[in-house]
A = this chain, B = another copy of it.
């Protein structure tokens, strides 16, 4: 019976996050990441342009999933209902590896300003993708911007809750991101 072998791409991500956490981002080389993953440098470069991009590899996929969910929500869905559909779509794509990596990724990002900047741009990119999808649905501005920002906050808070929680439980990400969105919706009534 063959043991499950993660694809090269996933092995590189796991190896990199471990090394970043162990010895810091700046001190980690592409050669070390490849070696830890049991692969060659040239395999690394077939998957990622550099070590920093590796950490945000999932951003384009995530943006696309969030936007697709918003676009395909029922025509009569409210802006936040559309955002919830985007969160459901994106959350469904996150499996045990994503959950496992969450806290380690956070630790790695904490070691480097460069990674914090890349991470901040990632949030801006997610918000922009959701805003565009909402505008295309005919949602006006600034409602579209605002709904998208709530979506980003809900995804980040839900993901943190899920990945930092009890790792044994077999729960999915979606309930966490949707609960976070509900909390934010309720909070809009307390801003006055």
Are B123 and A191 in contact, CB atoms less than 8 angstroms apart? no
A147: shortest Cβ distance to chain B, in Å?
Answer: 6
Chain A interface residue count, Cβ-Cβ cutoff 8 angstroms: 31
Are B185 and A191 in contact, CB atoms less than 8 angstroms apart? yes
A21: shortest Cβ distance to chain B, in Å?
Answer: 21
A176: shortest Cβ distance to chain B, in Å?
Answer: 14
Are B191 and A150 in contact, CB atoms less than 8 angstroms apart? yes
Are B187 and A143 in contact, CB atoms less than 8 angstroms apart? yes
Are A192 and B142 in contact, CB atoms less than 8 angstroms apart? no
Are A150 and B146 in contact, CB atoms less than 8 angstroms apart? yes
Give Cα A184 to B142, complex, Å: 6
A78 within 8 A of B: yes
A162: shortest Cβ distance to chain B, in Å?
Answer: 16
Contacts of A116 in B (CB 8 A): 121, 124
A54 within 8 A of B: no
User: A residues bordering B, Cβ < 8 Å?
Assistant: 78-81, 113, 116-118, 120-121, 123-124, 140, 142-143, 145-147, 149-150, 153, 157, 180, 183-185, 187-188, 190-192
Given contacts A117-B121, A120-B120, A146-B150, 4 further A-B contacts (CB under 8 A): A80-B192, A143-B190, A146-B184, A146-B188
